[in-house]
Amino acid sequence: MIETFMNATPHLWSVLAQAAPLADIGGWIVKILAFMLMLVILVFVHELGHFLAAIAMGIKVEEFGIGIPPRAVTLFTHNGVKYTLNWLPLGGFVRFSGDDDSVYGTGSLAEAKPWKKIPVMLAGPLMNLVLAIVIFAMMFAFWGVRAPTGNQRISDVFPNTPAAEAGFQPDDVILSFNGQPVPESAMVLDIAREHDGEAIPVVVVRDNQEMTLMVTPGRWVNDDGRVFESGLGFQYGNELEYVPMGLLEATAGGFVAAFDTTANLIIGIGAMIGGAIGVHEPPPGGLAGPIGIARATGEIIDQGNLYLFLSWMAVFSVNLFILNLLPIPALDGSHILFSLIEWLRGGKKVPPEKEAMVHAIGFASLMALMLLISVSDIINAVRGVPVLGGG
């Protein structure tokens, strides 16, 4: 999915970075602000879903906050709900009437019937899915959908590699590899492995001019010490072009893209679980924590286009939709599960203390997992290993 939205314009983020007095500092500021903007929008929309569903279900809400406490100012009060602005710009929150932070299971939401609580819990994740649909539809309406041209575009060339020695440069478009067209990305490495150690011709387009480069696939080592026995040493993917879409087509395309992304992410989660329990080999890549996600956002900002950033936000929003529906303690899916149990038991609730214990243990486990993943993210950052991979 990430490759599908590569190499787009306009170059908004690179322009902002170049405007900074110090290029490196300015670039990092742009990346941090972009990551914060994405996080704020995704969390705010999620909490807005909970809030609107609670109001629709007649569940009393005391406060809808923009940002995370401590509170900066109460903007206004309407129908008994305080609308507040808080100091930490990390999305928002909903405070239900009578909430007791020390024990989960108190307050207006906990006291509501299961058939009212479940839609409120579902609404947050569903709003993330809706946001993804809107983002995709907006992208398709303004820019069009990106479709493969049948060629491959090089996005990066690593130093001290066969590709660097042959003279490849970023933005070169590969027309043929050893005399063969390469409409599929995997074909490049397949041909390279078949001709390991042999000089083979590659026809590329650079600055609207065709040229032929000779490359000898062979062994190379990247910055983190990973050895590639019969590689080339460049990062590449399908060259894509815009295909214009009308408003109705763009809207339909938004739905298709969001649900296609959902299916792919579910398949990916299943593959990771299967690899973890030994059903098959684990897939390449792995989990990323907040640091890894922030670095991935930075790598996307380095591509210098708004289209790719919006596509990343949409994919991440779908990710939040799926993650929050999983029956993991402390997430929406777990609250939905407890509400279903209450419903099946004829309204008999699980004791709040026991439910609170489950959520507390689950939250502690999630934090421990995040810590482990973050350590891995930091190690990869120090080594310079890209989050979104390389070729």
214 within a domain of the structure (yes/no): yes
| Confidence at 10, pLDDT banded by 50, 70, 90 | very low
| pLDDT one-digit tens code per residue, 92-126 | 889 998 776 555 556 788 888 999 999 999 999 99
Longest dimension (CA), the chain: 76
| Confidence at 391, pLDDT banded by 50, 70, 90 | very low
> What domain range includes position 207?
149-242
165 within a domain of the structure (yes/no): yes
| pLDDT one-digit tens code per residue, 260-319 | 999 988 887 777 777 666 665 655 555 666 666 777 777 777 766 788 889 989 999 999
104 within a domain of the structure (yes/no): no
5 within a domain of the structure (yes/no): no
160 within a domain of the structure (yes/no): yes
216 within a domain of the structure (yes/no): yes
235 within a domain of the structure (yes/no): yes
* Residue 363 contacts residue 355 (beta carbons within 8 Å): no
Mean pLDDT over 67-81 rounds to 91
CATH code of the domain covering residue 157:
2.30.42.10
Selection from 17, 60, 103 nearest residue 301 by Cα: 17
| Confidence at 199, pLDDT banded by 50, 70, 90 | very high
* pLDDT score, position 5: 33
Length of the chain: 391
221 within a domain of the structure (yes/no): yes
* pLDDT score, position 385: 58
Q: Picking from 20-29, 75-84, 181-190, 249-258, which range would have the lowest pLDDT averaged per residue?
A: 20-29
* pLDDT score, position 76: 93
* pLDDT score, position 353: 75
How many domains does the chain divide into? 1
Q: What percent of the chain has a predicted confidence (pLDDT) above 90? A: 36
| pLDDT one-digit tens code per residue, 325-350 | 988 887 899 889 989 988 988 878 87
pLDDT at residue 257 tops 80? yes
* pLDDT score, position 279: 63
Higher-pLDDT residue of 64, 389 = 64
Mean pLDDT over 164-177 rounds to 93
* Residue 353 contacts residue 104 (beta carbons within 8 Å): no
